[in-house]
Amino acid sequence: MSLKESRWEELADIKRVLAKRDWFPGTSGNLAIKVDQQPLTFLVTASGKDKTKESNEDFLLVDKDGKPVENTHLKPSAETLLHVEVYNKTNAGCSLHVHTIDNNVISELYGDKGRITFKGQEIIKAYGLWEEDAEFTIPIIHNHAYIPKLAAEFGEYVKEDAGAVLIRNHGITVWGRNALEAKKYLEASEFLFSYHLKLLAYQSIK
């Protein structure tokens, strides 16, 4: 199996698991995984597909500018430029973007503050933070309709090899050194969003 094929399998596996959770409503969401570093190429989801289905046209290979490196009728996801930011600025190997109800609600409730900070929750260890009072902050950015502008603002928060950014009323983008780490960041973030919201509701009625 070539490197591209093995990366394809890793990304297809993540797509399958997230699709079962209905995390790609209305063909939303996009996923990417790095194949080569020099020159940079990565696989990214093709635009407009129903991600509950699987085919050999689910992903296509693009370059450091997000342009297809092979002759294809497929179009890269409209938000490929955000993945470009990740691979050009860090050593990340995988990046995932999904819309969920809870990440959208959090992004709106804390959108004016521009960030949400989590603390005192075991699952924070998923971010590689093992101290008892570790904190993890996720920035929340404006959802610019013009993708290059959105990518530029997103890129300001892309500094580490793993991280997470919320886009207001839109969704979350996470990235990590490899597929496992990116998925771990995503699941930990979604857990924290859901936990935070549910706790907030009960703290208000106790």
Per the annotation, binding residues are 97, 99
Positions 75 through 94 that interact with its own copies (CB under 8 A)? none
Q: In angstroms, what is the minimal distance from the CB of 116 to its own copies?
A: 13
Taking 3-state DSSP, the helix, strand and coil percentages for the chain, each rounded to the nearest 5, stand at 40, 25, 35
Asked if residues 79 and 97 have their Cβ atoms less than 8 Å apart, the reply is yes
> With respect to its own copies, which residue has the nearer C-beta, 70 or 202?
202
Based on the shown chain and the rule CB under 8 A, indicate whether residue 183 belongs to the binding site for its own copies: yes
Report the number of secondary-structure helices (H) and strands (E) in the chain: 5, 8
Q: Is 132 in the site for its own copies (CB under 8 A)?
A: yes
Say whether residue 148 binds its own copies (CB under 8 A).
Answer: no
Find the shortest distance in angstroms from Cβ 177 to its own copies: 13
Which amino acids are annotated as binding site for Zn(2+), given as ranges? 97, 99
* Part in contact with its own copies (CB under 8 A); list of ranges 1-9, 35-43, 86-94, 165-173: 165-173
Among candidates 72, 114, 153, which has minimal Cα distance to 59?
Answer: 72
Backbone angles phi, psi at 100, to 5 degrees: -130, 160
